[in-house]
Amino acid sequence: MDQKNEFKPYVPAEKITPEITVTSVIMGVLLAVVFGAANAYLGLRVGMTVSASIPAAVIAMGVIRIIMRKNSILESNFVQTTGSAGESLAAGAIFTLPALFLWAKEGLMEKPGILEITVIALIGGLLGVFFMIPLRNALIVKEHGTLPYPEGTACAEVLLAGEEGGANASTVFAGMGFAALFKFIIDGLKLVAGEITFAVKGFAGAIGTQIYPAVMSVGYICGARISSYMFAGGVLSWLVLIPLIVLFGENAVLYPGTETIGAIFEANGAAGIWSTYIRYIGAGALAAGGIISLIKSLPLIVKTFAGAMKSIAGSGSAGNKRTDADINLKIVLIAILILTLLVWLVPAIPVSLVGAFIVVIFGFFFATVSSRMVGLVGSSNNPVSGMAIATLLIATLVLKLTGMAGAVGMQSAIAIGSIICIVAAIAGDTSQDLKTGYLLGATPKKQQIGEVLGVVASAFAIGGTLYLLDMAWGFGSDQLGAPQATLMKLIVEGVMGGNLPWGLVFIGVFIAIVVEVIGIPVLPFAIGVYLPVQLNACIMVGGLIRLALDKMKKPEEEKKAIVNDGILFCSGMIAGEGLVGILLALFAVFGLDTVVDLSAKLGISPVVANVGGITLFAVIVLTVLKFSLWKKRKK
């Protein structure tokens, strides 16, 4: 018997229950905007984003089941489907588009308009959804027993455990509230230090930690292994490479620096050496890590694409049942054609019609690869950054060879890279959501409409979010390092102009190769090399908390509940801090940041601020334990 006929979803195909309702649409769109903005802020700070599917599902369950007294699991699923699109679109956008703002600051081009950013994000997001629609029957239905789609399956389990929806939703909301309060104390009122650094006299290295709840939450969600790789990269940068540069080159003037290394260190300490030199080493390591992950995945990518194409060719019509209904294929093809023409016609993407079709062909290839790879290895192991780097290298080379060099070529390369990065991210998210729907018995067509709604809402929000954050602090600043976008900028500049400090870049490349040879995952280590050690240390604290909870000697079910509650609380903290970060950006733009700043008014000394920071950090750790380890649960 065919596998699809054997499988019985939770809600049978014959049963009709509410999915697209006024409540689910409004909640889904709101969550798409909220999680999109929060993840944009997080990604620009730490270079990585987190999945929004499970917290969105839990919030939906809490509101629909507990507050509205409705027993509608498919309505909750529609909310998480729509809401999670915001996080994926934000990830694709913030990894590339801030490069345009950085070039505008250097006077190379005009700053992109909000409308241009919105159109680029919208084209990439919609292509990601529409490319996945013809793949659904091949990858989700036909390969049900082969492709586990870990995040999609986990989200279905959360929605099925509906009896605990209220308690779990309260955990997410508690995380949002506590993180909002902590963030406002640190960066709004400025009553305590947000970062603490320790240095030893006579040694150029430095160590320390940030105390932000969202950064620590990333470590908890990623776990101790990934956190330790990032921290190790930070230790290499700040306690090995920086001291070596200062020790051997104190009196040297080394490009891209314009004064002696000793003078840079004297003026700004280890942070000055990091921003002048180490970031190029980190960028080299990141680029090499992305390419290595892509090369390692090549056999799987080729097999994946061939298998998907074969499945599409042989799948035919999925059937007439409610659970088989997709958006009409003619509508999908017309939409893809219109979006292809937009790639050609939009001034922000200066490519020919042939170039537009190349973009779409690349996009379909990476969407197919992304959709199947997240099914095999999960979203966190999907080499989206490697795909973006490969796309940027190829696109920039082609543009340069066809005579489109200089600022116009660089702008075009980033726009093309951004579309394909968003396509890959959204295709992966859509396939996870469709897997959740397949297990629950959702109507695929309605989920696909939800994805489109989420993409449209978050695309209109992302332009304003990027503009607001740039006006408040500027990309590439201490507050918003924008590591991935800076890397993409360096790659395009390197291919177009060749004026990078290649010596530093190649040091990073060979560090990445050594790390790969000894069996350490390159990308988290390379991100650690690139980011400030204080940020990596804060992530490491979250990883250590997760490790302690994972190692507890408790019954497996109880331990799993404790760890999962911690994940939900930390997801809430990421959203809460992200939203207050957006609020504080508004304060900075309108000059209200000095009004709420109490540090100068109260005369808080650096020592008192540091002690306050350490104390608050301890409180943040205790709140995570309160809502995980010490949470009261029904027997």
Contact 578, 41 (CB under 8 A): yes
Highest mean pLDDT among 46-50, 157-161, 321-325, 423-427: 423-427
CB 470 within 8 A of CB 103: no
SS3 at position 554: coil
Least confident of 120-124, 373-377, 472-476: 373-377
Question: Has residue 70 got a pLDDT over 90?
Answer: no
Buried b (16+ CB within 10 A) or exposed e, 465-500: bbbbbbebbbbbeebbbbbbbbbbbbbbbbbbeeeb
Structure tokens at 169: 């939703």
Confidence check: pLDDT of 613 > 90: yes
Q: Which residues contact 179 (CB under 8 A, 6 or more apart)?
A: 213, 214, 217, 572, 573, 574, 575, 576, 577, 580
Is 371 a residue whose pLDDT tops 90? no
User: Could you give the 3-state DSSP secondary structure of residue 206?
Assistant: strand
Q: Are 532 and 479 in contact (CB under 8 A)?
A: no
Could you give the angle at the alpha carbon of 391 between the alpha carbons of 390 and 394, nearest 5°?
A: 85
One-letter amino acid of 143? E
pLDDT tens, position by position, 561-584: 999 899 989 988 998 999 899 999
**pLDDT reported for residue 4:** 44
Q: Quote the mean pLDDT of the chain.
A: 87
Q: Residue 521 to residues 47, 334, 336, 556: CA-CA distances in angstroms? A: 16, 41, 36, 28
Pull the structure tokens for residue 178.
């506590």
Query: Which residues have a Cβ under 8 Å from the Cβ of 567 and sit 6 or more positions away?
Result: 54, 220, 221
**d(C-alpha 265, C-alpha 262), whole Å:** 5
CA–CA dist 14, 12 (Å, integer): 5
CA distance 90 to 70: 31
What is the rounded average pLDDT of the residues 490-519?
A: 90
Nearest to 108 by CA among 513, 492, 506: 492
Residues 6+ apart with CB under 8 A from 453: 25, 28, 29, 32, 82, 85
Q: How high is the pLDDT of residue 3?
A: 45
Q: Which residue has the tokens 């292809």?
A: 340
User: Which amino acid, one-letter code, is at 377?
Assistant: V
Mean per-residue pLDDT for 470-498? 87
DSSP string covering 293-329, please? Answer: HHHHHHHHHHHHHHHHHHHHHHH----SSGGG--S-H
- C-alpha–C-alpha distance, residues 404 and 417, integer Å: 16
Q: Mean per-residue pLDDT for 582-602?
A: 90
Is the pLDDT at 71 greater than 80? The verdict is no
What pLDDT is stored for residue 581 in this prediction?
92
Please name the residue ranges forming H helices in 192-278: 213-222, 224-236, 242-249, 261-273
Which pLDDT score, from 0 to 100, does residue 462 have? 94
Half-sphere exposure of 214 (CA within 13 A, CB side): 32
* pLDDT of amino acid 311: 57
The more confidently predicted of residues 350 and 326 is: 326
Residue predicted with more confidence, 180 or 350: 180
Is residue 242's pLDDT more than 90? Answer: yes
End-to-end CA distance of the chain: 41
Residue 16 has pLDDT above 70, yes or no: yes
Amino acid letter, 512:
A
The two tokens of residue 497 are: 């102009």
pLDDT at 633 over 80: no
Each residue's pLDDT tens digit, 148-178: 888 888 888 888 876 455 557 888 889 999 9
pLDDT at 203 over 90: yes
pLDDT for 5: 52
Decide if pLDDT at 296 tops 90. Answer: no
Q: With b meaning 16 or more CB within 10 Å and e meaning fewer, what string describes 142-178?
A: bbbeebbbbbbbbbbebbeebebbbbbbbbbbbbbeb
The domain spans of the chain are 18-173+285-486
How would you classify residue 605: left for phi > 0, otherwise alpha for psi between -120 and 50, otherwise beta? beta
Predicted confidence at residue 632, as pLDDT, reads 80
278 versus 139: the higher-pLDDT residue is 278
Alpha-carbon span 578 to 213, nearest angstrom: 10
Which residue, 70, 72, 136, 25, is CA-closest to 438?
Answer: 136
Question: Residue 6 — pLDDT band, cuts 50, 70, 90?
Answer: low
Q: pLDDT band for position 309 (50/70/90)?
A: low
**Candidate ranges 165-169, 194-198, 308-312, 402-406; pick with highest mean pLDDT:** 194-198
Residue of 372 and 96 predicted with greater confidence? 96
Residues facing 210 on adjacent strands? 195
- Sole residue written with tokens 């082969």: 146
% of the chain with per-residue pLDDT over 70 = 94
Q: 3-state secondary structure string, 469-531?
A: HHHHCCCCCCCCCCHHHHHHHHHHHHHHCCCCCHHHHHHHHHHHHHHHHCCCCHHHHHHHHHC
Determine which of 8-22, 47-61, 263-277, 440-454 has the lowest per-residue pLDDT on average: 47-61
Using the structure block, give the residue that is written with the tokens 């997709």: 326
Q: Do residues 7 and 145 touch, judged by C-beta distance below 8 A?
A: no
Global pTM reads: 0.84
Kindly state the average pLDDT of the residues 6-17: 86
- Secondary structure, 3-state, 447-465: HHHHHHHHHHHHHHHHHHH
Q: What is the mean pLDDT of residues 275-280?
A: 89
